[in-house]
Amino acid sequence: MTRTIAIMAGAALILLFATLLLVVMPYTQMDSEPVPEGLEPYSGAELRGRDVYMSQGCVYCHTQQPRDPGYAPADQERGWGRAPVPGDYAYDQPHLMGTMRTGPDLFNIGARQPSEAWHLVHLYNPRAVVEDSIMPSYRYLFEVVDTPLDSDTVVNIPEPYGPEHGTVVTTQEVEDLVAYLKSLDHTYPAESLPRADDNGDTP
């Protein structure tokens, strides 16, 4: 009995230590990071669009974390922006940094592509704007109607990428998704993170 209690107490101590090391300490450290002045909280439409972004699995093919110039200067050469700092993700719960780049990084897609029309066409059929794109089409986020209402947002799909009959109009879901994508603009200034030199020391 005494041995069982000792084993249980030891396991509890190990679990407590792991929780402190892997959860509490990082949370405390990150919670103290300043939020960049140029970063705005998401609007209601942008938050709904973020939910659509997650539900459609965009995070599986797109990152939101340009790498440090010392590691991969190509990210900056492509115009993907500076390396992020922790404060850039202050309003992201959960974060959507991603791990794979089947498609381009989206950390600054709102700055690179500020056009709502471009995003709508791209989501309806990516090949209409990027000829060799392997991104799937999200036509089901749109509606095709015979006669658009005055309240409808018409999407002008170039030939031959549109439907054979009818007019493409948006849904609230795709409008919210585009609002979220356009909000991804981290071109405001932010303090760079310290980087280890060749000797492993930080400046």
- Residues 15 and 82 both lie in one domain: no
Q: In the chain, which residues have pLDDT < 50?
A: 198-203
What is the pLDDT, as a whole number, of residue 2?
81
What is the pLDDT, as a whole number, of residue 105?
96
Which pair of tokens denotes residue 6? 């000792």
Q: Based on the structure, what is the number of domains in the chain? A: 2
CATH number of the domain enclosing 115: 1.10.760.10
CB-based contact 76:82 (threshold 8 Å): yes
> Is residue 18 a part of any domain in this protein?
yes
User: Whole domain around residue 11: which residue ranges?
Assistant: 1-32
What is the pLDDT, as a whole number, of residue 7?
85
- Residues 84 and 54 both lie in one domain: yes
- Residues 102 and 176 both lie in one domain: yes
Give the H or E element holding residue 142. Answer: strand 142-145
What is the pLDDT, as a whole number, of residue 5?
85
> Is residue 73 a part of any domain in this protein?
yes
- Residues 75 and 154 both lie in one domain: yes
Q: Return d(Cα 6, Cα 11) in angstroms, integer.
A: 9
